[in-house]
Amino acid sequence: MKIIENSKVKEKAYIEKLENGLTIVLIPKKGTHKKYIIWGTNYGSIDSEFIVPGEKEITKVPMGIAHFLEHKMFEQPDGTNSLDTLTALGVEANAYTTNDHTAYLFEATDNFYEAMTELMDYVQHPYFTDENVEKEKGIIGQEINMYEDSPEWRVYLNAMKAMYHNNPVKIDIAGTIESISKINKETLYKCYNTFYNPSNMVLVICGDFKSHDMLEEINKRLVETKSKGKIKRIYPKEPDDIVQEKIEQKLEVSQPLYVIGIKDKNNNCEKEIVKKHIAIEIILYLLMGKSSKLYKELYNQGIIYERPSLDYEFSKNYAHIMISGQATEPEIIYEKMKSEIENMKNNGIDKKDVVRIKKMIYGNYVKEYNDVGDIARMFLSDYFKGINSFDYLEEIEAINVEYLSQVLEDVFKEDKMVISIVKN
Amino acid sequence: MEYKKIELKKGINFHIIKTDRFKTNLLAIFLTTKLDRKTVTKNALIPSVLRRGSKNMMTQEQISKELEEMYGAGFDCGVDKTGDNQVLKFYIETINDNYLPQKNENMLKTSLDKLLEIVFNPLTENNSFIKEYVEQEKNNLKNIIEAKIDNKSRYALDRCIEEMYKYEPYGLYKFGNVEDLKEIDEKNLYEYYKELVSNCKIDIFLSGNIENNIVDEINENENIKLLKEREPIYEFSKLENKKTDKEKIIAESMEVTQGKLVIGLNINIEDEKQKYDALMYNMILGGSATSKMFQNIREKEHLAYVASSMYIRHKNNIFMNCGIEIDNYEKTVELAKKQLEDMKKGDFTEEEIENAKKGIIASIKGIEDEQDTILTYYFGQELTKNKVTLEEYKEIIEKITKDRILEIAKNIEVDTIYFLKN
């Protein structure tokens, strides 16, 4: 096993790539009661066009199928449901689908190995019937309706629609009631067989255990499979420019919700992505963090009353910044933000502020190593982006004003900015 | 993990939770007072005024800069409703000295001083808070109170609670009422603040890898020295007689795609200790994926994605929640009631009981792995007369029998059915 170590948070990760292509990441953490296991496949809502290894034709599947598949994986041939079995063991089990990956997980204080048997069994043995596929359409239909009523989700998705012409990241992860109506067991099997191959998957475990013993436990539970060839994923071509600068939706809310987006060029997880990510975070805090001039001004004018969340979201084929929150007049934030970015470009970045914000961000990274679940999820999602999570703690030191100025010029461009608003 | 409670002065307790499991130290101050229509809005306003500035850190910008210098010490404050109490909460989370790039900084002491400063040494002028701060925060609080409608599921639950506890303290919204704001100014708010800090119950929690001299350090702190001992006014959680003659049905309209159904239940029991049985009952009814509600409403009938229930221990109520097609209202209510009837008939197996136990015990064992959950647990202990250690808590759950859960089932009644539709 390859060992990676971080002296700042004093943690180690053991990484093993098996012959069948499965990657295993083990992070032993002494003294915790909880163990957390998460098994993910590099397959999310954006993967709806692909060429199955060995085939020539392009396969097109309905939107929302990755999420539908996640729901159906729990079904067993003997009529039981693995979620019930895991719950009955007293473990906290769940699953989720994102744009670029799907993950199955549980957290346990007791019965970890029994539960691990169940988890590894159901992920390796799909069982779909016409009947159990039909039944799920009603449940997922209610999940879709629940998101229809969520102003946060609406304002987020609209921002995506304003930024992206073709990239499927702009479509609801769960699909639509119409798109899921076309899903049947054959397409589910096809997607499963393509994307749930070990070579497309990563298994992460964090908790109190010995890495070698755990590796053996995993091996015992693996079904023999061969590594398949590379899946060719087809994504529509996405222009660099935005679709529309402003997008608005009416919903019954007390005050407008907003997302300001800045579309970044698809950086395809370039080598410097961690450094770039940290730099963007620093710039966002300098612009709109609690100690910033702009925050103070907007707060004193009563336009904002909570700190906006500041995020850089990226995957292998999209990247964008999001500044989001609730405010009385989001348009003013948007305009002021633009001029503040210009000011920063013209007047330069203050070194003293950078030193302080770097200290804060360092602290924020350290805090991510408190909880076994947070650690495991972080390693999984970073892995699919080609990132070793520890790098964030190491790269931060090297970031200087020159580099920040360069990122500011490259990414914070006025013609790439959009604003999405949901209001009454 | 090691827990110690030290009475600094009468009514003021210092809780130390020594643990080396975390990269952080978590420090919290809770001010607890009775929920009251007359003071609910003032209490909600106080934390946000305090975080605007103190005697030695006069602006929000200065506070933020100092926290950022402390490796991003996370400061947070807010207000909660726990039983018939309103609790003003202030937190600061810092990196443990072991994980700092420089070894010579005593982050814990700095954060203790800063938090005490923010809570007990506010910026004032002419025996009032700063007018500008109070006016701005009144406006912000108005926005927060009105934001209640934004999360529709949470809104439906809050409305159900309000209807069940009409004219009672627990029916109050934790952020108070917009109409009270016009009466509040920098002067009367400061007057009230002084009264509050002299009479409320004060709990200071510290969790992390802590050195032994921390008690001396807190005793030497000027802000602690200035606090007087008190006979704190707050409510222990108790059992109340909340029988109803007839279930209330309330339907309200809003722009929603999905209907949000909340059914509030009373549990008519005599003995405080039966609350553990009620917790078990709830777990079987709607507390997990194997529960009656999840299995029958979601998995069998496909009526909902969310079908669950929760138990509020301090008030001894269960709330059933479902997000459904609006047309399926009658069908879902009927099915939800059937689950209660089935429970009453004893239609649950030993296996279901065992599963529920495992689930609850796992969450008890997990408490020590979550820094804020440990605080919440010990704070909960402060508000109950039946105190138990985590060990005892597990043993009590282990011993619960089917008969005892049946006793709960027999004494459950529907109080209010609330439906949010379009």
Flag whether pLDDT at B201 surpasses 80.
yes
Distance (Å, whole) CA B256 – CA A176: 17
Higher pLDDT pick, B363 / A316: B363
- Tell me, letter by letter, the H, E, C secondary structure of A310-375: EEEEEECCEEEEEEEEEECCHHHHHHHHHHHHHHHHHHCCCHHHHHHHHHHHHHHHHHCCCCHHHH
Percent share of chain B, pLDDT over 90: 91
pLDDT band at A112 (very low <50, low <70, confident <90, very high): very high
pLDDT band at B228 (very low <50, low <70, confident <90, very high): very high
A20 and A223 in contact (C-beta within 8 Å)? Answer: no
Contact B258 A145 (CB under 8 A): yes
pTM of the model: 0.93
Distance (Å, whole) CA A42 – CA A44: 7
CATH, residue A335: 3.30.830.10
The total number of structural domains that make up chain A:
2
Contact A10 B21 (CB under 8 A): no
Quote the mean pLDDT of chain B.
95
Interface of B with A in 332-391 (CB under 8 A): 351, 354-355, 357-359, 361-363, 365-366, 368-371
Contact B71 A140 (CB under 8 A): no
pLDDT band at A86 (very low <50, low <70, confident <90, very high): very high
Q: Is the C-alpha dihedral spanning B155, B160, B166, B169 positive or negative?
A: negative
Percent share of chain A, pLDDT over 70: 99
Whether residues A194 and A57 fall in one domain: yes
Whether residues A200 and A306 fall in one domain: no
Flag whether pLDDT at A136 surpasses 80.
yes
Catalytic residue, chosen from A11, A55, A57, A70, is A70
pLDDT band at B235 (very low <50, low <70, confident <90, very high): very high
A307 at B interface, C-beta within 8 A: no
Flag whether pLDDT at B107 surpasses 90.
no
Whether residues B25 and B170 fall in one domain: yes
Predicted confidence (pLDDT) per residue in A377-396, tens digit:
999 999 999 999 999 999 99
* Domain extent at residue B93: 2-225
Residue A239 located in a structural domain: no
Average pLDDT over residues B77-88: 96
Predicted confidence (pLDDT) per residue in B264-323, tens digit:
999 999 999 999 999 999 999 999 999 999 999 999 999 999 999 999 999 999 999 999
Quote the mean pLDDT of chain A.
95
Flag whether pLDDT at A266 surpasses 70.
yes
| Beta-sheet strand order (sheet of B412-421) | B248-253, B412-421, B259-267, B317-324, B304-312
pLDDT band at B208 (very low <50, low <70, confident <90, very high): very high
* Domain extent at residue A378: 246-423
Whether residues A218 and A297 fall in one domain: no
Residue B54 located in a structural domain: yes
Q: Last residue of some domain: B191, B225, B259?
A: B225
Nearest residue on chain B to A252, alpha-carbon basis: B255
Whether residues A408 and A262 fall in one domain: yes
Q: How far is B123 from chain A (nearest CA, A)?
A: 17
Whether residues B262 and B370 fall in one domain: yes
Interface of A with B in 116-135 (CB under 8 A): 135
Whether residues A126 and A35 fall in one domain: yes
Q: Last residue of some domain: B162, B193, B225?
A: B225
Residues of A in contact with B60 (CB under 8 A): 290, 296, 299
Is A114 one of the catalytic residues?
A: no
Residues of B in contact with A139 (CB under 8 A): 298-299, 302, 304-305
pLDDT band at A74 (very low <50, low <70, confident <90, very high): very high
Q: What is the pLDDT at residue A271?
A: 73
Q: Last residue of some domain: A233, A264, A279?
A: A233
Run of H or E residues at B220: helix B214-220
Residue B236 located in a structural domain: no
Flag whether pLDDT at A270 surpasses 70.
no
Residues of B in contact with A362 (CB under 8 A): 71-72, 101
Whether residues A273 and A202 fall in one domain: no
Which range among A414-418, B90-94, B173-177, B233-237 shows the weakest confidence by mean pLDDT? B233-237
Whether residues A46 and A73 fall in one domain: yes
Residue A68 located in a structural domain: yes
Which range among A6-20, B151-165, B240-254 shows the weakest confidence by mean pLDDT? B240-254
The total number of structural domains that make up chain B:
2
Q: Last residue of some domain: A233, A258, A278?
A: A233
Whether residues A172 and A52 fall in one domain: yes
Distance (Å, whole) CA A388 – CA A295: 33
**CA angle, corner B9, sides to B4 and B14, nearest 5?**
30
CB neighbour list of residue A186: distance below 8 Å, 6 or more residues apart: none
Residue B239 located in a structural domain: no
pLDDT band at A268 (very low <50, low <70, confident <90, very high): low
Residues of B in contact with A252 (CB under 8 A): 149, 254-255
Helix, strand or coil, per DSSP, at residue B279: helix
Q: Last residue of some domain: A204, A233, A262?
A: A233
Whether residues B97 and B199 fall in one domain: yes
CATH, residue B368: 3.30.830.10
